[in-house]
Amino acid sequence: MEIPKAYDPSQAEEHHYARWEASGFFAPEINQDPNAEAFSIVIPPPNVTGTLHMGHALQHTLMDVLTRWKRMLGYRTLFLVGVDHAGISTQLMVTRQLKKDEHKTPRDIGREAFTAKVWEWKNKYGGEITRQIRREGLSVDWTRERFTMEDDLSRAVREVFVRLYEEGWIYRGTRIVNWCPKDKTVLSDLEVKEEKAKEGKLYYLRYPVKDGEKGREGEGEKGSGREDENPQSVIRDPQLTITVATTRPETMLGDTAVAVNPEDERYKTLIGKTIALPLTGREIPIIADEYVESEFGTGAVKITPAHDSNDWEIGERHGLEKLIVMNDDATMNAAAGEAFAGLDRFAAREKVVEEFEKLGLLEKVEDYELTLPHCERCKTIIEPLLSEQWFVKMDEMRDLALKLMREENSPRFFPEVPHKKVYTTWLENLRDWTISRQLWWGHQIPAWYDADGSVYVARTKEEAVELAGTNDLTQDEDVLDTWFSSALWPFSTLGWTWRPVGSRQAAEGSSSPQSANRQPPTDLETFYPTDVLVTGRDIIFLWVSRMVMTGMKFMGERPFDDVIIHGTVLDKNGQRMSKTKNNGIDPLVVFEKYGVDATRMTLAGSATGVDFAWRDERVDSFRNFANKIWNATRFCLMNSEGAAVLSVPVATGSPVKTETTRGNPVATASGSDLADRWIVSRLNKTAKAVNRALETYQFHEAVQLLYHFFWDDFCDWYIELVKDDITSCDTETEGHGDAELGIPQSAIRNPQSDARSRILTILEQALRLLHPFMPFLTEELWLKLPGISNGLHNAAYSSAEKTIMLTTFPTGDASLIDEQAESEMQSVIELITKVRNIRAEMNIKASDSLSIHIAADAKMQNVFAANDAQIKKLARADKIVLADSLDVPKASARAVLTGNAEIAVPLEGLIDFEKERSRLKGQIEKLDIELQRLNGQLSNASFVEKAPAEKVKELRDRKNEIETQISTLKENLNALG
RNA sequence: GCCGACUUAGCUCAGUGGUAGAGCACUCGCUUCACACGCGAUAGGUCACAAGUUCGAAUCUUGUAGUCGGCACCA
């Protein structure tokens, strides 16, 4: 078989995905086991306008690893995919396009034409993200792909809206909301980001008190204590004024009161008086409210109920007028007065300040650090505005989520710290959710108004007509917040309300002949609740919390058990990636350069929940790893004649020594006995550890385990140890082994094919373990292995076309973990490493052979004797002398091994005594440092007394070991003279 | 203002009461018939700082400094 020397990812990534998808491997129906447990994940639906970024790639990789792993374990697996209509961003994108192509605004063409345009756009460009998801290799079920704006999901949205309205959990009301003057829509609190203002100012404005000259008796005496530190302008002015401090002078045009703290002695006498509000000709009262902090500013606050949420609350308490002085584009309106109408809010601010200055009422302007709310999307400064909107009342919703957390610790966050606390705290302080948006792209609010303005909330217009008793209805113009539909995602996608129970449609995937009589369970029954949600921390509030609430409310059950919060991928300088900084790393470019599998390994290899700086070098090492796997397989395939992957009787993966059939080549293994037992033990240990790691979502742990098992154990040691057994020419007499051990030649197979089958079988198991992380490479290689078939599949998939993705995932068999083999192998490895060290330090050429003298106890001698050939090969020695004690010339390099064994390599004529001395000294020094620490600990009476006896014994044993080694090395050193 | 996370080898990061780990980079050697995207052998760290708990702390507690994040307030 001709196989290229280097792995070319693009070649493997080209064709497997299409076959997997076409063969229905991704659909749960591929699972033929009626008793299979379900496993489900829903994808956080990416925006239809979106393109793949590293955050997606990370999140998607983790979900796919879990899905592929569970599928291989035999679960009925659904990884549900879909996209989100992304109200604002999609509308903006299409608006931009419209302007560019036709120089028109949405208003020019009207609502209907505009939404048609968006659908057109969606159909044309919306597929980009789904193509990219395929490129990533995600094993999602495309037959169940969903879109938040499709009919079925829209129906679920209306259903939820109506039910919540009927229960009074959704209401329409007039509140101060976050208004984006550019996008001209209201936003929820979560779509507003606070940012430091570049140059904040605090303006001190004097408001004349009406009849002020007469209204100040007593004020001076009582406030005298404070006057020195904070001289009040009210005292000195001929006309009595009260000074208010504000960062937004333009809003004074909408002031309807000035408030002071009721306990503030300075102002007590002014309470109840009125102010002649400059520039407006209006008179407003001075009121007392606890909200005002006397210490802050001047202790007097201008109140603008229509343009500030705190002021609004004060306004409510005192029955103040709520005067709106701005338009929806943040220009001043007629109510602001003729001089200001039409001015932008910032121009109006300047003008107000100018006018105050002219009137001598501007006391001072101070620099002031403040943060301002910005529109998350367009960065425009948000205007708090009084507006009538739809809200979801959060009291009961919040309690559903809090109760679930308190009573069942659900959902479980991974990592739990800090997310559990952040989530809970947020819930506890939750305010009502503004759900209406002044957009056209989205779910139009299912509320209709009659001529009188009475509202009828209904699932359909027909229903509304029935309620209203008239046909003359207009539907609410607004649409719902995109997150409203996202909140229903885990159950709306599975058929909630739109797919009747027991009528699972036949169109989807399965061709399996189900019994005609039995009603199969619906998707909703099978897959809800989902098992785990994987997402970023930025949408814990926006999305996770709301899914929990709606899930509890409408399904009566949590939407998922676990929530994995992954970290953020930062650029190489540790900065967040952003469009404005243009420091994003395009996953598709990385795929192109290193391959999808290497990228997936890199992403999965970062610790769960921890941010990490992206480094191409990291992918490099996994690209190299992929190449290593490729070449290890290439090597096995080059030496695979007469061999085949063995179908392992134990599902958990135990290719060797299973005592099944007598003819089983694995069971009759000879020759490389220790190496075989060792690699099987390592394989099973690794499999166990990988499963354990995945169960707790320690993806990076699994990646490390697999990397080291494959590279270190399998490639560096196992392949090298058995190389001679599998590469010797077929025609030659087979090497050491069977003849000596008396295995009859008649035993059908020859030892070489057996060895070849063994390594192929180990390799095949390793590929299975790697598959969830590296799907393309492992499939590409697996299909090339001799002897593979769908007979290796998990029983649930036995009739499916052969693929590694349906084989059984090795879980590790404890009975095949062989500690003795591992420790014996450790001795062999130590021996070889020490000899190699001598060779390297003494500059012995690779081509120069040497002999190794070993003094060891009988047990270890046996181990070395049994692996004589491998030791010779890997240490490049031509002779091994085993004895109870060393008898070698002075001109030898020496070393000690664990277990009181010693080795010496005679180097007649090659030895550099000075070098050997320093080499030995170096080793002694290292051991001595450890010995001193051990002595320190063991001479500490309280340690010996209080530490567990086991621990003390461990240290004593280690101390003895080191002492022996040191004394041996010292003897050797002295012997050198 | 409140809450939280992080600070470990040159770099990027694991580890989390009992002898400090990986990958990359560095040093030395190797055209060893799977792989130079390789093989072999080294070197490199008072685990931010200080105090405490403990027989024992990188790991637990408290404090300090630096970095980053979330939330709230902002007249």
Torsion of CA A633, A634, A640, A646, to 10 degrees: 20
Q: Which nucleotide is nearest to A251 (CA to C1')?
A: B75
The predicted-structure confidence for A341-370, as pLDDT tens digits, reads as follows 899 999 999 999 998 998 888 888 888 878
Q: Which nucleotide is nearest to A950 (CA to C1')?
A: B18
At residue A729 the predicted structure's pLDDT band, cuts being 50, 70 and 90, is low
- For A949 and B54, how far is CA from C1' in angstroms? 17
Dihedral of the CA atoms A634, A638, A641, A643 (nearest 10)? -30
Q: Give strand letter and number of the nucleotide nearest A298 (CA to C1').
A: B75
Q: With contact defined as beta carbons under 8 Å apart, do A552 and A402 qualify?
A: no
E-strand ranges in A209-360 read 241-246, 257-260, 274-277, 282-288, 300-303
Q: Angle at which helices A858-866 and A673-695 pack, to 10 degrees?
A: 90
Q: Which nucleotide is nearest to A292 (CA to C1')?
A: B75
Shortest CA to C1' contact from A368: nucleotide = B74
Region A515-522: mean pLDDT is: 66
Q: What does each C-alpha distance from A704 to A189, A334, A601, A666 come to in angstroms?
A: 41, 68, 10, 28
Distance A745 CA to B33 C1' (A): 29
In the predicted model, is pLDDT for residue A14 greater than 60? yes
Between the CA of A55 and the C1' of B6, what is the distance in angstroms?
20
Token pair in block for residue A39: 């496993």
Query: Nearest nucleotide by C1' from A700 CA?
Result: B14
Query: What sign results for the dihedral spanned by CA atoms A288, A292, A295, A301?
Result: negative
Instruction: Please tell me which residue lies nearest to nucleotide B34, judged from CA to C1'.
Output: A635
A565-CA/B68-C1' distance, Å: 17
Strands A257-260 and A241-246: unpaired
- Picking from A368, A374, A356, A387, the residue whose alpha carbon sits closest to that of residue A253 is A356
Comparing every residue's Cα with the C1' atom of nucleotide B55, the nearest one is A943
Rounded CA–C1' distance between A963 and B53, in angstroms: 34
The model's confidence at residue A229, banded by pLDDT at 50, 70 and 90, is: very low
- Considering only CA atoms, which residue is closest to the C1' of nucleotide B4? A418
Distance A840 CA to B29 C1' (A): 7
Lowest pLDDT segment from A542-546, A606-610, A628-632, A817-821: A606-610
If you average pLDDT over every residue of chain A, what do you get? 86
- pLDDT for A182-210, tens place per residue? 888 998 888 888 887 777 888 999 998 88
Give the CA-to-C1' distance from A451 to B10 in angstroms: 76
Q: Which nucleotide is nearest to A955 (CA to C1')?
A: B19
In the structure, how far is the CA atom of residue A432 from the C1' atom of nucleotide B2, in angstroms?
Answer: 22
Closest CA to A257 of A232, A292, A231: A292
Q: Is pLDDT of A474 > 80?
A: yes
pLDDT of A116: 93
Q: Give the pLDDT score at A801.
A: 95
The nucleotide lying nearest A844 (C-alpha to C1') is: B29
The nucleotide lying nearest A204 (C-alpha to C1') is: B75
Nearest C-alpha neighbor of A257 from the set A207, A219, A332, A203: A207
pLDDT at A922 over 70: yes
User: In this structure, what DSSP letter does residue A815 have?
Assistant: G
pLDDT above 90 (res A645): no
Q: Distance in angstroms, CA of A585 to C1' of B68? A: 21
- pLDDT band at residue A641 under the 50/70/90 scheme: confident
Residue A663 has what pLDDT?
37
**Residue found under tokens 């409210």:** A289
Q: Which nucleotides of B are covered by protein (CB under 7 A)?
A: 3-5, 11-15, 18-19, 22-25, 28-43, 54-56, 69-75
- Give distance CA A32 / C1' B2 (Å): 55
Helix axes A720-727, A868-875, angle to 10 degrees: 110
In Å, what is the separation between the CA of A785 and the C1' of B40? Answer: 30
- CA A951 / C1′ B18 distance in Å: 8
pTM for this predicted structure? 0.89
Reported as a single tens digit per residue, the pLDDT across A589-604 is 999 999 999 999 999 9
- Lowest average pLDDT, out of A626-640, A668-682, A757-771, goes to A668-682
Nearest nucleotide relative to A923: CA against C1':
B42
**3-class state of residue A904 by DSSP:** strand
Q: What number is the average pLDDT over the span A852-871?
A: 92
C-alpha A836/C-alpha A840 separation (Å) is 6
- Name the residue closest to the C1' of B32 by its CA: A846
The tokens describing A698, both together, are 């320690």
Rounded to whole angstroms, the distance from the CA of residue A608 to the C1' of nucleotide B22 is: 17
Q: Interface pTM (ipTM) of the complex?
A: 0.95
pLDDT of residue A268: 84
A412: helix, strand or coil: strand
For residue A332, pLDDT beyond 80: yes
- Residue A692's pLDDT band (cuts 50, 70, 90): very high
Check whether A746 has a pLDDT greater than 60.
no
Separation in Å: B14 C1' and A567 CA: 15
Distance CA A56, CA A249 (A): 44
Q: How many angstroms separate the CA atoms of A601 and A28, rounded?
A: 25
- Comparing every residue's Cα with the C1' atom of nucleotide B15, the nearest one is A701
C1’ B66 / CA A527, Å: 48
Distance between terminal CA atoms of chain A? 58
pLDDT-based confidence at A518, cuts 50/70/90? low
Nucleotide nearest to A296 (CA to C1'): B75
Distance A171 CA to B2 C1' (A): 32
Gap from A612 CA to B59 C1', Å: 22
Q: Is 90 exceeded by the pLDDT of residue A702?
A: yes
A421 CA – B62 C1', rounded, Å: 22
Query: Which nucleotide is at minimal CA–C1' distance from A638?
Result: B34
**What pLDDT score does A648 carry?**
60
Q: Which pLDDT score, from 0 to 100, does residue A299 have?
A: 87
**pLDDT digits over A418-444, tens only?**
888 889 988 888 889 999 999 999 999
Nucleotide closest to A708 measured between CA and C1' = B22
Q: Tell me, in Å, how far CA of A947 is from C1' of B62?
A: 26
Task: State the angle between helix axes of A416-428 and A395-408 in degrees (0 to 180), rounded to the nearest 10.
Answer: 150
- Note the pLDDT of residue A40: 96
The nucleotide minimizing the C1' distance to residue A723's CA is B34
Q: Which contacts qualify for A359-363: CB closer than 8 Å, 24 or more apart?
A: A359/A278, A360/A206, A361/A205, A361/A206, A361/A207, A361/A208, A361/A241, A361/A278, A362/A203, A362/A204, A362/A205, A362/A206, A363/A204, A363/A205, A363/A206, A363/A233, A363/A243
Residue A760 has pLDDT above 90, yes or no: yes
Q: Taking CA A208 as the corner, what is the angle to CA A203 and CA A213, rounded to the nearest 5 degrees?
A: 140
pLDDT digits (tens, 9 = 90+) for A113-143: 999 999 998 888 888 899 999 999 999 999 9
Q: Using the CA of A246, which nucleotide's C1' is the nearest one?
A: B75
